[in-house]
Amino acid sequence: MSGLPRREKRPVLWFFVAGVQLPRAEPRPTPATPGPSRLPVTLRRALGPPLGLLLRVARALGRHLRRVFSSLSMGGMAVGLVFFCLSMTPSLLPRAWYLQGVASGICTVTGYAVGVIVGWALRKFGFRPLAKPRQRWVAKRSLIVSAWVLIPLFGVLGAVWQYQVREVTRTDRDDANFYALVLMIAFALSRAILTGARSLRWVTRRIGRFGARWVPSPVAKLLAAALVAFLLVTTLSNALLPLVSKVAGASFSLTDSGTAPGARPPQTMERSGSAASLVRWTDLGREGRTFVSSGPTVAQLSAYRQAPAVQPIRVYAGTDSAPTLRDEANLVVAELNRTGAFDRAVLVVVTTTGRGWVNEDAAAAIEYMWGGNTAIAAMQYSFLPSTVAFLTDRDTPTAAGKVLFDAVHAAWAKRPVGRRPKLVVTGESLGAYGSQGAFGSLADVQTRADGAVWAGTPNFTSLWRSLTNDRVDGSPEQRPSIDGCAAVCFVTATDDLPPSARPSVIYLQHVNDPIVWWSPSLLFDRPAWLGEPALPGRTVAMTWIPLVTFWQVTMDIIFSTDMPAGSGHTYTLDYANAFAAVTDPPGWTPADTAQLRAVLATVPNGE
């Protein structure tokens, strides 16, 4: 009896021992499959390997992204998401999609850093809102849902805002917006910056642990952070920037040694680089050769004025023309004496941009206006683009502007008062900054020169800044009013300069020119011009956002010279109005200005 329970517990074994087979279950009928088809097989064979590779890449990318996001701070990602969305807001000029990606990447990693710092501070005070797993789970899911909603939403809003900016700046409204690529660029750039920052943190921690052997740990950490910061700044300022300057110099020196298409040695003695000139054609540099070989002919001037004209004088010295800036300036004065420039009606002293460029619209405007009875003097102090020259050397432009004007003014002042030409100074962009370096104040300009026209003056220019700060109460920073255009006039659009005004100084500055409005203070301080009602040319949707607007305006600088006339950093037609007001040609009328603007619209130009 004792064996029966064992047999009942193991019936299967008992049947096998007894040699009895258990009944097998009937197999389930398999569903009928259709006959083979050549098309699916062909497609599978053709698409199988690439599709499989794509799936493997997608799975690997998904695993990588999960590892990346799992290592990030929840608060940092939340603030980074907010900053990414804010980076899509409009600024001064339209942004290409790849520049939008760069701006969004920088803003995202900036927001991440802010979130990490705030979270660290909260934890130091004992506030831990995500201490429990359930809280972290809810926060993570909320962040994912927010990202899925906000990123597409602000992608659409960004496209709408860019359309509005293109509308007010009169640029192409059909520019493509690849916002999927914007997201990819932003992620890749922010990931790269974050990796670099974490590498610096790792180095700092290692140094701190090493120093903790001899000093208290808090002191060691502080000293390690200071040491790493010092080494980073020193490397950037003493190694990286000089290296960039050297590489850029080597690259752009080759460009400077070339000659623009159509530029030929001048055949008239009134030009530098001619057979009669003291300056060799080969020493003028690319922009100098373009300048002396361009300009309206005597026939064109006579036809425009419907009166006999004379050959305009253009003198120029390149960096290869003399060993120092002072020697260059003396050579320019010698060229002015050789060509009889001090016997002309108007003498214009131009401070060039970084590459030695002279705006052809500015030069042609004064020559058409005075029937060629003019002389223009300029010299090159660098062959680097203005942006690179600004980053590597701010002293040379002002030094060049001062030494050139002082040399010309000294020679001009020796002439009898009644036989002196009108002495006018001008410059654009970095040239405006350098030209204003020759003067200490507005009174100095009025005492030593008969007029000044400066276009696209950079925000860091001392004279411009002091005059802007001294504007009449209630006057907008975008278009300051000093004395009702009696002595100084800030012109943002053609209508800002009254036809009867005869100021001695005119500033041409567009409300959407990022060169004029860019400043490091945009990082943390709201500028006055963004607190004012937007003037025509700037979208009303633009607003100041801490740590975001700075990078947006920085991106605007890159293509600011590619804008149409009257927008961005493109100054062309308004030179007609400005020089007419400053030099006051005899018998000149507003109709003459309108006619000259039409002529300037056909002048080829560009830096």
- Over residues 450-482, the pLDDT tens digits come to 999 999 999 999 999 999 999 999 899 999 999
Contact 248, 384 (CB under 8 A): yes
Both ends of the chain: CA-CA distance in Å?
110
Confidence label for 357 from pLDDT (cuts 50, 70 and 90):
very high
- Over residues 325-350, the pLDDT tens digits come to 999 999 999 999 999 999 999 999 99
- Over residues 119-174, the pLDDT tens digits come to 888 888 888 877 788 888 888 889 989 999 999 999 999 989 999 999 999 887 65
Buried b (16+ CB within 10 A) or exposed e, 472-499: eeeebbbbbbbeebebbbbbbeeebbee
Structure tokens at 18: 């007894």
Contact 191, 198 (CB under 8 A): no
Confidence label for 50 from pLDDT (cuts 50, 70 and 90):
low
Range in 9-13, 242-246, 365-369, 371-375 the model is least confident about? 9-13
Contact 273, 337 (CB under 8 A): no
- At position 183, the amino acid (one-letter code) is L
- Segment (H or E) for 347: strand 346-351
Measure CA 325 to chain center: 29
Give the Cα separation of 593 and 582 in Å (integer).
Answer: 13
Enumerate residues 6+ apart whose C-beta is below 8 A from 332.
315, 316, 317, 377, 378, 379, 404, 407, 408
Give the Cα separation of 100 and 158 in Å (integer).
Answer: 10
The pLDDT assigned to 173 comes to: 62
Report whether pLDDT(45) > 70. no
Enumerate residues 6+ apart whose C-beta is below 8 A from 430.
353, 354, 386, 389, 390, 397, 458
- Helices 298-305 & 360-369 angle (0-180, nearest 10): 60
Buried b (16+ CB within 10 A) or exposed e, 528-567: ebbeeebbebbbeebbebebbbbbbbbbbbebbbebebbb
- Over residues 173-210, the pLDDT tens digits come to 656 667 778 888 998 999 899 889 889 889 999 998 88
The pLDDT assigned to 175 comes to: 61
Of 61, 100, 84, 70, nearest to 151 (Cα)? 84
Contact 364, 296 (CB under 8 A): yes
The pLDDT assigned to 521 comes to: 94
Give the Cα separation of 596 and 301 in Å (integer).
Answer: 11
Coil, strand or helix at 268: coil
Q: Three-state SS string across 65-92, please?
A: HHHHHHCCCHHHHHHHHHHHHHCCCCCC
Range in 23-27, 168-172, 286-290, 577-581 the model is least confident about? 23-27
Contact 83, 107 (CB under 8 A): yes
Cα 568–Cα 570–Cα 575 angle in degrees, nearest 5: 125
- Over residues 209-241, the pLDDT tens digits come to 888 888 888 888 888 889 988 888 888 777 776
The pLDDT assigned to 125 comes to: 84
Give the Cα separation of 471 and 426 in Å (integer).
Answer: 22
Of 322, 318, 459, nearest to 394 (Cα)? 459
- Over residues 77-94, the pLDDT tens digits come to 999 999 999 999 999 999
